[in-house]
Structure 1
Amino acid sequence: MSTEALTGLSLQRALEQAGNPARMLRSLPAAHYTMPFQPEYTTWRDEQRAWKHTTVLYDQSHHMTDLYVKGPDVKRLFADLGVNTFTTFGKDKAKQFVACNHDGYVISDAILFGFEDDEYVLVGTPAAPNWVQFHAETGSYDVSIVRDERSEANPHGRLTFRYQLNGPLAQRILEKARGGPLERIRFFNMGRFELAGVPVRALNHTMAGVPGEELTGLEIVGPADGGPDVLAALLEAGTEFELRQGGSISYVSTVFESGWIPSPIPAVYTDDRLGEYRSWLPALGLEGFAGIGGSFASDDIEDYYATPWDLGYGRTVKFDHDFIGREALERRASGPHRRKVWLRWDQADTARVFAESLYGEPGQRPIGVDLPITSFTHFQFDRVHSGDRLVGLATFSGYTVNNGCVCSLAMIDEAAAVDGAEVTVLWGQDPGSPKPNLEPHVQTEIRATVSTRPLS
């Protein structure tokens, strides 16, 4: 359906007109969300090396939706919606918030900040803020909300700046910028201090790799009008440490080292209990206008849904409170699950696909492999086989110099999730797809090796 056809419609109405959610999303153009900041400052390869060897700075001030929720019922609201425990959550804490539908499928995940005991800020793609805002407005919760949209949808300007320092020299750069030592901040906790005369909050977390004793990742948040001064102070302090500014190209590729599967398809398209929510959502939002692509094709939208275990969030599911989806997840907990893994593409097959996509016979070429992001649509699902058996789905694919290979983040059966096991990824759009803007191509198999741990 075109943008014009969807304008003014709810998601529910658009689905009724389309007749089948999976076919509707599979027919949408292949497109990525465009990050609203500079693509490269040096080169994307140099910026990738920096988060491994020096430090990189990303300006995250513009591309995410921030939902501020404040009031005496803020913890109850999030506990009712999140699979996470909230027993000790509050001021200066943070967590990866995960919300599911009634059947235990993930609607979205996002970072939740505890600014105060009665004020939380949810930051991520629009899917999680949408779900929380709907329940805040329609449920019996004593909370107020302020929605701070991403820059391209926000004519009033953002409320805050957000800078991410990532790399082994992050702590030294920050201490030089503020002119003194930094008090220890525990992982996924926040500290408060001044930087360039601006009061900031700083969350200890890393976008690539794993946390260690040294502070290797810090997300710094403060009032928007102080952003330029803080940025200047960080860049000046980082000069002697070979700090790199990171552009949008390398930014997206951090997931291939952290292992975060970005933007799972929101499990909101089925279930009559979600009809009111679908009527509340606009058709032109993420849920209605982000396309499905890849070699896995199904007319059942639930075949694209994921559970928390599929995405590596099984450890976050805590049955110490009642929440939407609890009963379904309790039933699933002891059963078999898919597991999040890395699939290292075979070097020879990768080179073959590159060569054939450029020089092969017209009509017989595989789809091109762009770098560093090879995925060609928003929600990408490629078939993963062990022999003739479908064992899972590959999602986001791409390359970093630190991994030294093209890889896919995938969800595969636990029995197949064995380090060193060989599988194949079916690369290319399904032949019967109505997707309008992909180059003509044929599907091809790419051998890959399973890793249950980060590749770098």
Structure 2
Amino acid sequence: MQPEFTNWRTEQRAWVDTCALLDQSHHMHDLFVEGPDALRLFSDTGVNSFANFGPGKAKQFVAVDPEGHLIGDAILFHLEQDSFDLVGHPMVLDWVTFHLERGDYEATAERDPNSHLRKSGPPRLYRYELQGPTAAALMAEVSGAPLPDVRFFTMAEFTIAGRRVRGLRHGMAGQPGYELFGPWADSDAVLEALLSAGENHGLVRVGAKAYSTANLESGWVPAPMPALFSDDPLMKEYREWLPVTSVGSIGGSHSSDDIRDYCLTPFDIGYGKTVKFDHDFVGRAALEKLAEAPPRTKVTLVWNAEDVTTAIGSLYRPGPGAKFIDLPKARYATHHEDAVLVDGRQVGISLDCGYLANERVMVSLATLANEYAVPGTEVTVLWGERPVSAKPAVEEHEQVEIRATVAPVPFVDFAREAYRSR
């Protein structure tokens, strides 16, 4: 993915003012599952309800281990009868494939890795996302027809440049939009049509840098630590099945001798409403008990501007200074977890972090003990590692405390008050 087409500040602004075009064709993995037992496979491994999940719909699929800790999440597209596409990071795709191979399911799976890992050839599907205030008008022009009235996370069909295009009603940064996809052979024709029509609607192409921050506005945690390490016999079997490359790096100031302390539950990161006990699934008993009184709540942390400025300014003084804060995304590990403190005591974990040019703030998504999750509460993010790890992205540095204020999720007012409520 191209890092920038113009600059990431302008590109972030596009999904607020006009329309942003984000190319999602290359960074995610697809798992195509087909067969009469495909839906049962997802029901057995996902916390979601599948009672009314028919073709033409999609959902945020969430999976947990037997103890109720997150394996991961992905977007599940119900394409046709008995035909599905699970799109996301490898963690949850691995989990579903493992259960398919060891279980009694009349179904098959075909995996299309992302473009970094694919051994040869292009992706099976292109995937373009349009989002922003002018996205609907652009779609109407490029398709030459009035837009169908579809609900959030429901698919519709369009004709663009003479090609059949499927579109998911979606919007990652809280703005209205569509995720368009189809056969890779149609990718250039569809892209050219979008760019041509977009000239009338302020279309801006968004590169990888700006795209990586969209989740901070909408509140999605992109890479929670997968719960792989427990004494449960199922998890031992799963670890033996997994390739060692399935485990990503851990970074940040959160530190524990118990790897389970890095794991999260669906309730920790805002998936409580997704959990439905209308079916049996792996981890149900643990989540039923946890649902009685979830101990933590997902929030946005707005980092103190003076403290961030001081940390970045330490680059220009004799060192070592603070851990380098990259922009716009400051996360430097696959699974980034910083300790959140109140009066020196840890009360939660700060997760994905970065800079939002539209709001001119540094923020992070976090999960905090309920009593500290009230908007306006003052907390401290411990930035930097002790001891300094051997990861290539980590230089010699000093830990620093950065004050932060608790804010709602989603952070952007439009996303919180208008878009999500509809």
TM-score by length of 2: 0.95
User: Is 1:345 matched with 2:303?
Assistant: yes
1:371 and 2:327 aligned: yes
The C-alpha deviation readout for 1:336-390, integer Å capped at 9, x for no partner, is 321110000011111111111x122223x11121110112222111110112221
User: Contact 1:78 / 1:132 at 8 angstroms: preserved in 2?
Assistant: yes
| Alignment match, 2:239 | 278
The answer (yes or no) to whether the contact 2:388–2:396 under 8 Å persists in 1 is no
Give me the whole-angstrom Cα distance separating, in 2, the residues matched to 1:240 and 1:436. Answer: 44
How much does 1:166 deviate? 1.0
CA distance in 1, matches of 2:388, 2:216: 29
One-letter code of the match for 2:370?
A: E
Please identify, of 97-106 and 393-402, the stretch whose mean Cα deviation from structure 2 is larger: 393-402
1:130 corresponds in structure 2 to 94
SS in 2 for 1:240: coil
Q: Residues of 2 paired with 1:435 and 1:126: CA distance?
A: 21
Partner SS, residue 60 of structure 2: strand
- Structure 1 Cα separation of the partners of residues 121 and 373 of structure 2: 47
Establish whether residue 360 from structure 1 lines up as the match of residue 317 from structure 2.
yes
Q: CA deviation at 1:231?
A: 0.3
CA distance in 1, matches of 2:409, 2:266: 18
Instruction: Identify the residue that residue 111 of structure 2 maps to in structure 1.
Output: 147
- Rounded to whole Å, the distance in 1 between the matches of 2:117 and 2:294 is 41
Match 1:200 to one of 165, 172, 196:
165
Q: 1:447 aligns with which of 399, 403, 407?
A: 403
Q: Per-residue CA shift, 1:144-177, capped at 9, x if unaligned?
A: 1111111122213211110000111111111111
- Note if 1:93 corresponds to 2:91: no
Alignment-derived partner of residue 418 in structure 2: none
How far off is 1:432 after superposition?
A: 5.5
Q: Distance in 1 between matches of 2:394 and 2:179?
A: 37
Q: 2:368 aligns with which of 406, 409, 412?
A: 412
Cα contact 2:388–2:397 (8 A) shared by 1: no
One-letter amino acid of the structure 2 residue matched with residue 426 of structure 1:
L
Asked whether the 8 Å contact 2:341–2:380 carries over to 1, the reply is yes
1:258 aligns with 2:218: yes
Q: What whole-Å deviation, never above 9, does each CA across 1:190-221 have from its counterpart, x for those lacking one?
A: 001221111111001111026xxxxx111001
Q: Given residue 241 of structure 2, which amino acid in structure 1 is its aligned partner?
A: W
Alignment partners' CA distance in 2, 1:157 and 1:437? 30
Aligned equivalents of 1:97, 1:105: Cα separation in 2 = 14
Contact 2:301 2:406 in 1 (8 A): yes
Match of 1:225 in 2: 185
Aligned residue type for 1:414: N
The one-letter amino acid paired with 2:159 is E
- Measured after TM superposition, the shift of residue 429 of structure 1 is 1.3
CA contact (8 A) 1:85 1:320 kept: yes
2:122 aligned with 1:165, yes or no? no
Query: One-letter code of the match for 1:398?
Result: G
Corresponding residue for residue 394 of structure 2:
438
State the distance in 2 between where 1:100 and 1:73 align: 20
Separation of aligned partners in 2, 1:46 and 1:305: 35
Query: 1:330 deviation in Å?
Result: 0.5
Amino acid at match of 1:391: V
Deviates more, 1:42-51 or 1:334-343: 334-343
Match runs of 1:8-157 below 5 Å? 37-154=1-118, 155-157=120-122
Q: Does the CA-based 8 Å contact 1:296-1:430 persist in structure 2?
A: no
Is the 8 Å Cα contact of residues 267 and 294 (structure 2) preserved in structure 1?
Answer: no
Alignment correspondent of 1:17: none
**Partner AA of 1:279 in structure 2:** E
Could you tell me which runs of 5 or more consecutive residues in structure 2 were left unpaired when the two chains were aligned. Answer: 413-422
State the secondary structure of the residue aligned to 1:445.
Answer: strand
Q: Which amino acid aligns with 2:102?
A: T
The 5-angstrom pairing of residues 394-409 of structure 1 reads 394-409=350-365
* Further displaced range: 426-435 or 229-238: 426-435
* Residue 297 of structure 1 pairs with residue 255 of structure 2: yes
Q: Does 1:335 align with 2:293?
A: yes
SS for the counterpart of 1:152 is coil
Correspondence for 1:322 among 280, 283, 297? 280
Alpha-carbon distance, 1:49 to partner: 0.2
Look up the SS of the partner of 2:403 in the other structure.
strand
> Where does residue 177 of structure 1 map in the other structure?
142
C-alpha separation in 2, matches of 1:209 and 1:437: 31
Aligned equivalents of 1:133, 1:453: Cα separation in 2: 32
Q: Which residue of 2 aligns with 1:384?
A: 340
What is the number of equivalent residue pairs in this alignment? 410
Work out whether residues 17 and 133 of structure 2, in 8 Å CA contact, stay in contact via their aligned partners in 1. yes
1:189 is matched with which residue: 140, 149, 154?
A: 154
Aligned CA distance change for structure 1 residues 192 and 276 (closer, same or farther; 3 Å) = same
1:248 aligns with 2:204: no
Query: What do you get for the CA RMSD once the two structures are aligned?
Result: 1.2
Instruction: Name the % identity.
Output: 47
Out of 306, 313, 318, the position equivalent to 2:271 is 313
Q: What TM-score results when the alignment is normalised by the length of structure 1? A: 0.88
Highest RCO, 1 vs 2 (Cα 8 Å, sep ≥ 6): 1
After superposition, the C-alpha distances for 1:33-80 in whole angstroms (9 at most, x for unaligned) are xxxx11000110000000011010011111111001111111111000
**Alpha-carbon distance in structure 1 between the residues aligned to 2:96 and 2:361:** 38
**Shift in Å, 1:436:** 5.4
Q: How far has the Cα of 1:437 moved from its partner? A: 4.9
Task: Say if 1:200 and 1:220, in contact at 8 Å, map to a contact too.
Answer: yes
3-state secondary structure, aligned to 2:98: helix
